[in-house]
Amino acid sequence: MKRLLIFSYIGLIVPFLISCDSELVAPAGAAQVQTQAAYGSCRTYQYISKGGEETNYGAAYGEVLLVGFREGMTLKEKEKLVRQSSLYKSIAGEVAMESGLITLVQLKPRSTCADVELLRDQLQRHPDVLFANPAFKAQPGQEGEVAWLGLSNEFLVFIEPGTQAQLEALVAQTNSTLVFSLSEELHLISVTKTSQGDALALSNLFNQQAFVVTAEPNFVLQAVNGSMQDAASQTVLKKMKQSR
């Protein structure tokens, strides 16, 4: 049986010099109280393959959040929005995905997984935010090379021949978007906060469908040393697209 490899976006993190003159809306203590009240326990994230194998990513990594904003927003407008949270430290950079830009929002030191879940919920209530996704600590075997891996808004789906109509129906049902097709069997799908779930949850859902060979989420990887020369333009997915 054909098998789809995991394609990970190794994001090119581009630093930005951003003014931090204005004060945050709420003091850190107030945000922490709300965090403890609303998110007493942290959610854990899991990927379940087509064959039922489980990959446990654990709870959200407390230092970064991956945010998708409305198309056309400037970096200054994005910063103005996210800096209203007392958890906000800076915008660390942006990663170009097939479906658009992902902005990397760095949180203050000692932010917890509960803080991430709180800010994720707050941001996704804003009309200018398309999604806000967590990052996770490096998986076994990645230590020393990967600082963290962030959940993007995209996942890859490999389907049985002749089942395109079923795929399109499921995409519509889950309120996701077919970004492009690499072949009749291999497709890239994106999600937003209005979809039935994030890219990880929908990968799990698609893997439950008989016509799906496998579905796997795309990740943004941050190297330990922070150096990612040409990584954004050298992803496996882009190479496959260019070689067609």
Tens digit of pLDDT for each residue in 3-19? Answer: 444 444 444 433 332 33
Q: Which pLDDT score, from 0 to 100, does residue 240 have?
A: 47
Q: Which stretch of 5-19, 101-115, 201-215, 217-231 has the lowest confidence by average pLDDT?
A: 5-19
Tokens representing 36 are: 């403890």
Residue 130 has pLDDT above 50, yes or no: yes
Place of tokens 């379940």: 48
Least confident of 20-24, 42-46, 166-170: 20-24
- Give residue 85's pLDDT band: very low, low, confident or very high (50, 70, 90): very high
For the cut 90, the answer to whether the pLDDT of residue 132 exceeds it is: yes
Q: Tell me: pLDDT of 136 over 80.
A: yes
pLDDT confidence bin for 226, thresholds 50/70/90: low
Instruction: Give the pLDDT confidence score for residue 4 in this predicted structure.
Output: 42
Which amino acid appears at position 231 of this protein? A
Lookup: tokens for 193: 């906060």
State the Cα–Cα distance between residues 124 and 128, nearest whole angstrom. 8
DSSP code per residue over the chain:
---PPPP-B------------SPPSS-HHHHHHHHHHH-SS--EEEEE-TT--EEEEEEPPTTEEEEEE-TT--HHHHHHHHTTSTTEEEEEEEEEETTEEEEEEEEPTT--HHHHHHHHHHHTTSTTEEEEEEEEEPPTT-TTTEEEEEEEEEEEEEE-TT-HHHHHHHHHHTT-EEEEESSSSEEEEE--TTSSS-HHHHHHHHTTSTTEEEEEEEEEEEETT---TTGGG--HHHHHHHH-
Backbone dihedral angles phi then psi of residue 118, each to the nearest 5 degrees: -65, -50
Is residue 242 over pLDDT 60? no
Give per-residue pLDDT as tens, 176-213: 999 999 999 999 999 999 999 999 999 999 999 999 99
pLDDT at site 40: 55
Exposure pattern of 167-185 as b/e (b: 16+ CB <10 Å)? Answer: beebbeebebbeeeeeeeb
pLDDT at 204: 98
